[in-house]
Every structure is written in structure tokens, then in C-alpha cells.
Structure 1
């Protein structure tokens, strides 16, 4: 990766994005599809921080113009792989002569992401593995990419996004990317999660293989599965079972262990032949303090009660709302939008009326960010839970969230 060339390419993509935003702001015809295609092509090739940001933005289904969201969504499932020659160099640095360790390594990856790609391999003993390989040179260009990305993100002010919100998003992204380069930490997370959730029969987490792993290669046993995004037309019984497993796992993650899988895009999840939910990527796991959980549940409690003042107080306990002027009307409308998901009995996550209310609310939430002022860790928590929510939507989940949250709300009141 040549830093000057990357900088010029990122600058060019930023300029094109800025031009499209300016035409939109001035009332002109904005070709969001063309911009999305250009970003997909450029970011697929560049990888790294800018591609990661685009993947994060694509998780907010209700934020971007639909044509732009569709193209950015392709980065989660169709990103162009890095040529084998670059990946091969990293593997040779790790293993030496590849034939000494493997009977076969597929040169075409079966998954490509922002920071690395995954190749299947077979050992001489016949074991089927996957090798998650970090893109060569990524660590060396990361900080330069982040500096350019911070400049590009200033364009968000044209969407009337407060600078504090942009700064918090950038810091969240930077911390996440730096941590994702640590494959040793991800291997430890895989081992920890396998042991921790062994009692969940509907969950499968690949086994890390330290003897084949190194600083830029993470080896795991291969667990084949159908990607979550391809299950929309699958058998309803299977989808409901997977949705319940996902909800059970997330609840235990948060309220028993105080952690959360923080990269919820659908490409990180699959369903294996036994009908288990497979979690492929644990490069981003965040701690969630108990105080945050209690304040979050108190905010939900106040929301379901339709109490704007209690909602504002709960947001303050989360570390937000340092400024003046509580947006009480926004709180009331948010309560009306959210409440149907928590009504007694199974609620249909595919109900378009709920999505429409949430989408209509989003611009008002962003416009009030200067008053809401949520801290960076709360923004990360919110983004992550939003991503998991949309995974439940894709599954067409029908869950009794009233019954699921009642004991958690009682715990938060104590």
C-alpha cells in the first residue's frame, strides 16, 4: 500500500462525496447511486479505515439515501478481494514454505472485509481451517488513513451533524480499527466466548488454533454456514429459532458478562447445517459497565412509561445532555415509536410501520445531537444495538420483548 497514492485516492473520493452533498444541499439532482458505485469501487480497493466507516454507515439502514445505502451495503458482502500475491507474502512471512504446513490453501478468499480477508486451508492431517489474513502494510498506513478520514468526515456537517458527534464517531472508529489489528486479542476472545457460551446449544463459535496463528494471521477451525443475510427466504421455524438464539446470546453477553460483540453487520453471522447461529468475527468486543446497563434500562423504562422528564434524567445518567433545553417533544415521539416493539406478546420485527416511525424520527434525533450530547461509548453501544436490531429485522423475528425485558427493568429499578 503506497501512502501517497492512498491519500490521493481518499481525497478524490472525499471531493466527489462533497460535490454530491453540495448539489443536494443546493436543491440540485444528487446522483446517490453513482456516488455509491464510486465509493464501492474505490473503498473495495483501498480497504482499511474508510471502508470500515462505510460499512458502519451501511448498518444504519435509516440514515442514508436508499441508493447510496444499497451500494455501501455491498461492501459487507461483495468487496473486491486483494490479489493473492499480497496475501501470499503475509502467509510466507508467518509460515515459511506454505507446503510444509498445508496440503492446500485456496487462493480465492471466501470472505473479504475492511482489514483482512479469509482463505480456506487444509492441513496435511486433513483438518479444514480458515486463515484470517491481515492486509499487508495496513498497520503502517493506518494512522495516515485515519488523518485523511477525519478530514472527509467533516463533510458530515453538511448533513447538519454536530462536530461533537463527528468527533465522537471518529474516535470510536479509530479505537475499533486499532484493536482489530490485534489478532492475539481476537484469538483470546474466541476462546473465551467458546467456553462461556458452551451451554447455548444453538450457538457455534469457531475454535482458534494458536499453533497456526501469528500477529497477522488468525487460524480457526472451519465452520461452514449460510450467511445471515441469505436467510430472508428460509424456513420460518429456522429463522425464529436463530432470532431467539441471537436475542438470548446478546442478553447474556450484556447482563451476565458485561461485554458486547460490537461489529454486528450480517456478514459476521451465519447458520450452520445443524441450524446453529455461527459467530465468525470477534475482532471488536467492547466492555459495557453495569452503570451504563442500569441507566440504559432506566431510559427504556421511562420510554415505555412515556415520561419525557425521566427519559432526560436517564440520558444524563448515561453521560449525555450536558447542555440546556431538554427536547421533550422528541422524547415523547421517540417513546411512541419504540413502545410497540415492547407491547405484551410476540412482536413482529418486520412490521414496516415500526421502521417508518423510526426512520421519520432519525433526522430529528440527529438535529438534536447538540442538546443530547451522548458520550462516545454510549454512541458505540447505541450503534451496535441498532445493528443487532436490523439483524433481527432481516430474520423477520417475532419476539416477546415485553417478557424478555421485564426482569431486566426490575433489576434496573433496584
Structure 2
């Protein structure tokens, strides 16, 4: 496990270094960031990741030298120490840099189960506790967008944020009419940082696919990410997303959506009602197994409902975006990275998913993967090998009962990333259609959360509720079905 942990941390450093290299190859000019802002200029961002890579390469070399001639247990201990120190270093640097790189770190922080617990804890700070911007900068954003400084807009305003993440940070405030609210303030300069990272990523993906993933449509993949990230930068779009989710889940028995406060929401400010609740870590440590199981099913059903029934879903499923409650209900807080199915998108992807889960037919899967753009015709791959590889994340839906675990998540991700293993021919030719990019992020993100909660259930029958109008498989499923019927009758 320790060796896998080191490899996972090395992949983080490689990602950062790859982005820096690609940015230089793209020939991008350095542009100045905002003075005092946590968002670095293009030049300084490249310098940071190069230093990060150099520091951790040296750290890795030292750990290897110290391990020469030592017992296997000692080498394993050194590997684990390397992983923990590297994770803390990565979290610090990416937390200061914000943007796409920080989002990558957030995803890694809870998906890569090969990391030691201490390393995951270090990276978990990227979910809600990254380095904030100076109070004067946050106040300046409020003044620029609302015409007055925050102390003249709100009855109460906390200068220090309650959370800081990749695009903005959240301040607690009280409106003139006495409402307790959360005000998300966008970092000055983050737009330029994200554009720089995405420009770099396009070159990196192209280099990566030319060496290993020859079937990858790098441009289409990055274009999809760029579109979603640009939308996330406009808080007016996020405000409309909050309002839509609030309407779609109004009166839901266990999904909570914060109410939008439109009078204090602008392009760079998003204000919603304040919601108290437990963090993911508090849920895991303090609550009963029953409450954790209920919360896990709520998280899963929220995403399935949105994907299959509404065609609009949150594409950023990480623990910092949720508040948990003692009855197992969940408040869903963030609606910046939202994917909407365009006409025909889901209809193109669904047949391949059905071939895995419903039909369990390798030959049918390959034909449908060719039709939907996952494979090019004439690939010559063995259908059984293709099915064995692409079905691995969907094992929970291929059996009547399944328990998600961190070990299952670790081993499944290792299979997907093993470019020198038995599935190498499939990996080399596999493409990811742009339509699938955000959905894939949701699949992995939700699975990782369920693994940490050791969620057990009849996931196959539950999924068929949404994909094939199946009968409710659990108590929560029956409750949601009753809520859906009551809404349709009005």
C-alpha cells in the first residue's frame, strides 16, 4: 500500500510539473496577478509547480537512499513519511494557487485511497480550508459589485472567511432585514489563472495522448472543461443554478438546497441563506452507522435524480460542498460546476452504460462504445478485455448487494490507471467523449465518498429506479417516489 501511496503522490507532482511544462511550450506570456491576491501570475504559477516538483523529487530521492539496505518495514515507513510530507507540501502550494490546479488537488484528496490517512488529511484542507485572500481584497470585491463596503451593506460581516476554496471564499453576514447568510466572494485574478491552467492542460493532454492514450480527443475534452469552468466563474449563472435546484427539490424529504438571496448576488458575489450542519469529517467521526448509511444514500440519490430525471447535475462532488444533519439529510451547497445535458447527449452515452449494467454483454458494449465515441472502429480489441476494464467502476451495480469501501476504491482506481497492466491495449485506444467528462468526475467522486462511509445497499436495484423506472428498492427510494408522485399531481 505504501508503494502505491508514493506513486499516487508522484502523480500529483507530475501533474503540476506537466502543467508548468505545457504552459511554457504553449508560449504563453506572463500576466500580472492582483497585488495581494492568492492567485499567482502565469509566470509565478509555473515557478511554483517547478519548485514543488523539485522539492518532492529530492524528498523522494532521499527516502530511497535512506531505504537502501534497510528492512522491508523500514522502507515502507520511509515511503509513508514521504507521502505524508509531500501531501502537506502539495496542499500548501495548490491551496495558494487556486484555480484548476487546486481543483485537481481537491479531487485527488478524497479519491486516491492509496494515500496514508495523514496524507489524505493534509490534502483534505483543499476542500474548505485553503489559504484565504486578505480581508481588504474581499471587502473590495463587495464594494466594486454592490457599491459600498460590506460594513455598510450588511448588519454584520465577518472579515475572516469561514471557508476558502478554488474559485472563491465564503464569509458569514447578516442582511439588513436580519437574515443570516453566506456570501461567496470570488478571488480577484482567478479568471486569468484558470485560463492559463486550461491553456496549459490542453497542451499536456495532447502530449499525454500522443504517448499513451492515442485515442484521446484532447481538444474536445479540454473544451468541455473550459466551458464548465468559465461558467463557474460567473456567479450570476451559479445563482440561476441555485434557484433551479431549489425549485426542482422543493419539499424534498431529505435533500436541502440553500435559498438564494438575489439582492446580494452579482457576477463576483453569491449570497444564500446560512446553513448550519456537520462537516463530512464530523459525520464520519461522530454519527451512528445508521445516520452515515442514510447520508450516503441521500448523496447517491441526489446525483442520480439530477442526472437521469432532470438532466442537470452538480459536477463537483467533494465533501466540502455538503453539510450533514443528524437525521441523515444533507444540504448541498455549491452549484458552480454544473453540467446540463444538451439534446441527445445522454441518449448517446446511455446505451453503453446499459450494455455494462443492464445487458452485461461485452460484444454489445463494444458496438455501443464505437457508436458513442469511446472507441474508434477497427480497434481490434477483445470484447471481454474491454468489458472487464470499463465495467470495473460499475461493479457495485453488477450484484444484488454491495458495500463500498476505501480498499475497493483504491484497487479499482489502480486498475484504471495501470497503463502497463493487462488492460494496457484498451487504455491505449480508449477515448473519453467530452459529454462524459463531468459525469465521470461525479461517478468517481460519489464512489469515493461512499467508500469512506462504507455504504452498503442494493445499488443495482436502486440504479434501475432511475434508469429503467424500477420499483423503489429502499425506504428512502419509496419516500422519494411518493414525493415525486405528489409533485406530478399538482
- After TM superposition, is the score higher than 0.5? yes
After superposition, residues 149-160 of structure 1 pair within 5 angstroms as: 150=202, 160=212
User: Structure 1 residue 44: deviation in Å?
Assistant: 1.6
Asked if 1:116 is matched to 2:174, the reply is no
How has the CA–CA distance of structure 1 residues 151 and 7 changed in structure 2, closer, same or farther, with 3 Å as cutoff? farther
Cα gap change, 1:130/1:235 in structure 2, threshold over 3 Å: closer, same or farther? same
Match of 1:2, SS? coil
Does structure 2 conserve the Cα–Cα contact (< 8 Å) formed by 1:53 and 1:173?
no
Tell me which residue corresponds to 2:396: 341
Q: Indicate the SS of the match to 1:231.
A: helix
- Give the Å deviation of 1:263: 0.7
The aligned runs of 1:164-179 (5 Å cut-off) are: 164=216, 167-179=219-231
Residue 54 (structure 2) pairs with residue 54 (structure 1): no
Which of 25, 42, 47 lines up with 1:7 in the alignment? 42
Q: Is the 8 A contact 2:254 2:329 kept in 1?
A: yes
Q: CA separation in 2, counterparts of 1:397 and 1:363? A: 26
Q: Choose 1 or 2 for highest CA Rg.
A: 2
Question: Hey, what's the Cα distance between the residues in 2 that align with 1:154 and 1:294?
Answer: 28
Q: Does 1:41 align with 2:92?
A: yes
Residue-pair matches, total? 411
Aligned to 1:315: 369
1:96-135 equivalence runs, <5 A: 96-135=148-187
Structure 1: give runs of 5+ residues left out of the alignment: none
1:306 CA displacement: 4.3
- 151 and 59 in structure 1: CA distance in 2 versus 1, 3 angstrom threshold: farther
In 1, are the aligned partners of 2:129 and 2:165 still within 8 Å (CA)? Answer: no
Paired position in structure 1 for 2:6: none
8 Å Cα contact 2:213/2:429 also seen in 1: no
Change (3 A) 1:39 1:77: same
| Structure 2: distance between partners of 1:174 and 1:40 | 23
Unaligned runs of 5+ in 2: 1-30, 35-39, 66-78, 471-490
Deviation at 1:339, TM superposition (A): 6.3
State whether structure 2 residue 363 is matched by structure 1 residue 328. no
Conserved 8 A contact 1:120-1:131:
yes
Match of 2:260 among 208, 220, 232: 208
The CA RMSD measured in Å over matched residues stands at 3.6
| Matching residue within 382, 385, 398 for 2:440 | 382
Change beyond 3 A, Cα 1:45–1:247: closer
Within 2, Cα distance between the matches of 1:74 and 1:367?
Answer: 37
What's 2:317 paired with?
264
For 2:225 and 2:320, the matched residues in 1 are separated by 19
The structural deviation recorded for 1:284 is 1.4
| Contact in 2 for aligned 1:11/1:148 (Cα 8 Å) | no
Cross-structure match for 2:22? none
